[in-house]
Every structure is written in C-alpha cells, then in structure tokens.
Structure 1
Amino acid sequence: MSTVTIMPRGGIAKDAISSHLASDRLTLDLVRDQDVDALHALAGELLVCRHVFAERPPNHVQVSGLIARSTFLHTVSGTGVWAIRRRAGSGIIGIAALWPHQYEAGSPPRMELVFALSARYEGAGFAAEACDTLIDYARKRLGWSVLHSRVDLHNTEANRLLWRLGFVEHMVVRGPTGPLRISALELSRPLSLLF
C-alpha cells in the first residue's frame, strides 16, 4: 500500500493548509456561508467599504460570491479570506486575506495581504496581530518568498502598519478611488514589528 500526498495547484501539501489560525488575542477562521450577514455589515462600514470594496458596498449575493471564491482558493492554494474574531469571544471584528491580484494585463497574479477592521476595534493592535498571523502562515506553511499589498495612499494607518511589518514601497499607481501604494514584503527575512 502506498501513500499519496495531494498537492493543490502551487505545490502546497494539503496538511500545510489551515482554515483556522490563532494568535494571542485573535482567531482567524476561513469565512463560511453563515458569515454572510456579519461580512455584509462589516463591508457597509464607511472606511472598510472605501478601502476594500472601492466605495460600493457589496450586496448579500456579492458577499456570498466572495465566500465561495475564498473557499475555492483555499482548496487549491491555501489562500482566501479569514474572519477575525477576538479569542475572548465576539462576532467578526474584521477580515484578513491572502488574495491574488493581477497588477498588469498578461502578467501572473501576485498574492496580496488584505485587511480591514471594524472602526470599533481600531487602535488596539488587532490589525497588526492578524496580519502577523497571516504573514507567518504564508511564510511557514505555504512557503512563499514574497507578499504584496495595495493600500490607498491616504490611508495613513494602514500604510504605517505595512511599514512596521516590513513592507517596502515599490510604486504608486492610480486606483478606482485614488492613488494606491503597492508594497512588498520579502518573507525570507525574519519578521518583527518595527516600532
């Protein structure tokens, strides 16, 4: 009898993929169908809507589509959207994602770190903790060497967080709501928050 390891596209072993991640204060769980209402409410918050959904909040059908795409991506590559919850117990306080984005027509997609928190939870370090957890997962479990991020140039707090995480600006491009800063993080370097 032989053992076969199923390798999703991208060469990731199935046992490396995790739909549940945890940090000191947070749990990150891959979004599921039962999260539609909570994600729809989060997407409707002004800043989340502006920075993640290009100013138009998604409807329930679009949120369901996002969950379906996340589930598919997770199955084939270990990526997707995770709901952020406090370990102390709470509903969804934000999202963090490893998501493909094609920067230029004809070029291969690059994997991006995407994050958004409800305004009620900003300023407590939850975004940094969630991002650090996903970066660690991308480095140690998925074996990535680089991770990208696109952030509204005027989103000072998100840009500051990316800098603290070690992301380096590569370029500024025009986005649907204004200029976007494209940054990259070399995952081969040890990760530590830069204060």
Structure 2
Amino acid sequence: MGLPWDFHPLDGERVHLDLVRDDDFDALYALQSDPEVCRFLLFEPRSRDEVQKVLERDAGNRRLAESGDFVQPAIRDGSGELLGTVLLRIESAADRTAEIGWMLRPAAQGKGYAREAAALLLDLAFGELELHRVIAELDPRNAASAALCRRLEMRHEAHHLENLWLKGEWTDTETYAILDREWRSPA
C-alpha cells in the first residue's frame, strides 16, 4: 500500500489505538501536565490551553503522505480509557523512514501497554506503509524507554553527547533503529 495512508484504528490484544477525541482532554491534560511524565520529553509540563491546542492539532492529523506528517493516536485499554499516546512521524517519505515515540501515564507504565502499542505501529510501518526504517530518539536517562526499544529489538545506533540544549541544560540523545527486514512482532 505505502503512502499516502489514512488513519484507521489498530487493535492489539490489550490495547486499541485510535485518534484522540475532545472527551480525552482531562486524561491528556493529566498526562501532559505531569512533571514526571515530561521529565525526558522535549516539552515542559503543559498548561490547559497548551493541551487544548495539542488536542486540536493531533485529532486533525489523520494522513501520512509526506515528510513531516505524523499521527499521534491514543493508547486505550479494553474499557476505552486513555493510557497514553504513541507517535509515528514520517522522517523522509523518499527514504521510507519514520520516527516512533510513546508517552504513558505513570499508573499504566511497566505493564506492557507501550510495548504492545509500539509493536502495532511497527507492524503498520513495515506492513501497510511499506517503510524501510524506523527510529526512536530519546534521552539516555530515560531507562524505561531505552529498555522498551531493546524489547522491540531495536538496535542502539548512536549516543550523541550534549547535542541538545533542553530545559536549561545540555542533554544527550540516543538513537535506536530497526529495519523492515529485522522486524518481527514481539509476542
């Protein structure tokens, strides 16, 4: 199939990925305003107004067609409760590469939800989207995300020293990646 691609919900054994909705506002605000959740992300805890703008932006992103396009669906449990979000952003349509990321509320962490959601996006990336390479970039102090990359069988490719001025300090970035021929959905 490849690009362009229009969003459709994705279902795993325990998680459901669909677009964020207006009624997700309170859960999204709790997530994105939490200092612990935001600690290793590129943004500070967000205000209610900032979260509203993010909700409006993300709910409208439904199509992946060219470099820079992204979808950031909600990760929901079986009851439909928002557990977090997962991101797939086209880095280069010509090179068939994308970036993946995740954000999970603290009560849902450590239970395999992020792994299952990320695996659904990798299945999509290397299946329907026919991508060649997917990367994850993260702060190396975020041990949980680094461990998730390893569980997804992503390869550690780089550790960039003090390459980003963020939140008043120089921070490092690690890059993990996986190719289409390397991906096999973890059980």
TM bucket normalised to smaller: 0.7 to 0.9
Residue in 2 that maps onto 1:114: 101
Residue in 2 that maps onto 1:18: 7
Residue in 1 that maps onto 2:62: 74
Aligned length: 176
Say yes or no: does 1:44 pair with 2:33.
yes
Residues 64-93 of structure 1: CA distance to partner in whole angstroms, max 9, x if unpaired? 333343345423438411111111x15211
Q: What percentage of residue pairs aligned between the two structures are identical?
A: 26
Residue in 1 that maps onto 2:16: 27
**Counterpart residue identity of residue 115, structure 2:** A
Select the structure that is richer in strand.
Answer: 2
SS in 2 for 1:52: coil
Say yes or no: does 1:86 pair with 2:77.
yes
Residue in 1 that maps onto 2:89: 99
**Counterpart residue identity of residue 57, structure 1:** P
Decide whether the 8 Å contact of 1:21 with 1:27 is kept in 2: yes
Match of 1:191 among 163, 179, 184: 184
Change (3 A) 1:18 1:11: closer
Structure 1 unaligned residues grouped into runs of 5+: 1-6, 103-107
CA RMSD of aligned residues (A): 2.7
SS in 1 for 2:16: strand
Residues 12-46 of structure 1: CA distance to partner in whole angstroms, max 9, x if unpaired? 2x5xx333111001111111333232211111223
Residue in 2 that maps onto 1:136: 123
Q: Distance in 2 between matches of 1:192 and 1:110?
A: 18
SS in 1 for 2:102: strand
